Amino acid sequence: MNVEASEGISLKLQAAIYRESVALVEAGIADAGDVDRVITNSIGRRWSVGGPFEIWEQIGWDLVQVIAGELFADISVATSASEIAVPGVSDGQIVTSESSSTDSKFQNVAVVGAGLLGHGIALELAVHGKQVFLNDVSENLLSDAISRARVGLRALASVGRISEEQIEQALARISSSTELGESVKNADLVIEAASENLELKKKIFTDIDASAPNHAVLASNSSTFVPSAYGSVTNRTSRVVGIHYFNPPHLLPGIEIITGPDTASGVVALVKDEYELIGKKPAVVRTEIQGFISNRLQVSLLREAMATVENGEATASEVDELVRDGFGRQFATTGVFGSFTSENSSITHSTLVDAFTELNNDQKLPQLLLNKIESGDLGVKTGKGFYEWTPESVEAWRANMANSLLHMD
């Protein structure tokens, strides 16, 4: 692929992300600063290490079909936007807000679900002095979570983010129990991190609501379901909010705070302040929307990337290289809005808008993806997708991702 072709493809991939970013801002879902916070503190960091095909292959194209299927019909298909102003940006700077709180109000935090994300959430909170009550359905799951938390803490110590002494101090702050009522009875904040099953989440929220103190804020780490879906079973819908972490939670500073239709503005402000106190970079999703900010941007990129490969313009590996070694690095630093307002940018708002007319507008999943599912080439889980995977190459890819994130500021 020659330089001119690669630049054209890169422009379209960036334009796809920008188009959805603008749509989110114009719809009042988020401001430009929050969109860029999601990119610079989470998905952009991952794009700087792995491209969209590499990243989605880790979870499997069958699961992508579930996550992205409905979003394909929902994300922006605008083909022109000549009158779009650069939203939320003044004098080249992203508009931000500062935390107004100095004293933590979340001293006791219960984490329900000790799996891939749950143990990482627990270890990070414990490092920052919280008393963490980790809950799951079996002692074996809890024991495994504590072991993985120890590994995560050692990794943080290896690059000087915490001291060796803090490893044991953090672990001492984590209590574990299979009794849900016992785990949440003194909690100021409860974070549900169970599997993506709505009926299970409703059951958990019903039980949490019955046992947690009245002042407690109830949150879900769901990447799929909105607060009204699980909060409706509680008697405190004003204190239910989404807190969407990214994997690995202790290495990615970004979180999304999802506002439900009944969520009190004071609760959103409290959660935002509390997370800023421990160094997280929260972005507020002001209104419930499927996919939040992060998945809508990731699926926007995926749709254009799939179209590029399907049209024969580039291979999956070439697209990944353009993202990983190109604008992914810039986005990880400045975000999408910040990128083209920076002095060093070669791409302008008008250039991106002009590219909108060339973007893919399909509202159904691409045949290329459906063919992979039909053939059973799902990615890492089957050893083949757009790439060939062995246990060794999977481990190497994931180790590189974790190590790269660990060394990012």
Residue 229, domain member (yes or no): yes
Residue 101, domain member (yes or no): no
Residue 405, domain member (yes or no): no
Both 302 and 358 in one domain: the answer is yes
Q: pLDDT at position 43, please?
A: 97
**Least confident piece of the model among 11-15, 64-68, 307-311, 397-401:** 64-68
Indicate if the pLDDT at residue 56 is higher than 60.
yes
Contact between 130 and 106 (Cβ < 8 Å): yes
Express each pLDDT in 218-273 by its tens digit.
Answer: 999 999 899 999 999 999 999 999 999 999 999 999 999 999 999 999 999 999 99
Both 306 and 274 in one domain: the answer is no
Express each pLDDT in 341-369 by its tens digit.
Answer: 766 667 788 888 899 999 999 999 999 99
CA-to-CA separations, 219 to 114, 127, 256, 266, in angstroms, rounded:
15, 20, 12, 15
Q: pLDDT at position 339, please?
A: 84
Both 76 and 147 in one domain: the answer is no
- The Cα 336–Cα 313 span in angstroms is 24
Residue 237, domain member (yes or no): yes
Q: pLDDT at position 347, please?
A: 79
Residue 394, domain member (yes or no): no
Round the average pLDDT of the chain to a whole number and report it: 92
Q: pLDDT at position 89, please?
A: 46
Instruction: Kindly report the three-state secondary structure assignment for every residue of 280-318.
Output: CEEEEECCCCCCCCHHHHHHHHHHHHHHHHHCCCCCHHH
Mean pLDDT of 308-319: 97
Both 81 and 32 in one domain: the answer is yes
The total of structural domains in the chain comes to: 2
Both 115 and 257 in one domain: the answer is yes
Q: What is the CATH number of the domain that holds 241?
A: 3.40.50.720
Both 163 and 256 in one domain: the answer is yes
Contact between 354 and 340 (Cβ < 8 Å): no
Residue 82: pLDDT band with limits 50, 70, 90: very low
Both 305 and 255 in one domain: the answer is no
Domain boundary among 285, 319, 341: 285
Both 130 and 270 in one domain: the answer is yes
Both 225 and 370 in one domain: the answer is no
Helix (H) or strand (E) holding 333: helix 328-341
Residue 396, domain member (yes or no): no
Mean pLDDT of 77-98: 50
Residue 386, domain member (yes or no): no
Express each pLDDT in 186-212 by its tens digit.
Answer: 999 999 999 999 999 999 999 999 999
Domain containing residue 11: 3-96+298-375
Q: pLDDT at position 81, please?
A: 57
Indicate if the pLDDT at residue 91 is higher than 60.
no
Q: pLDDT at position 344, please?
A: 65
Domain boundary among 285, 310, 327: 285
| 175 backbone φψ class: left, alpha, beta (φ>0; ψ -120 to 50) | beta
Both 75 and 114 in one domain: the answer is no
Both 142 and 243 in one domain: the answer is yes
Residue 382, domain member (yes or no): no
Both 127 and 8 in one domain: the answer is no
Q: pLDDT at position 87, please?
A: 53
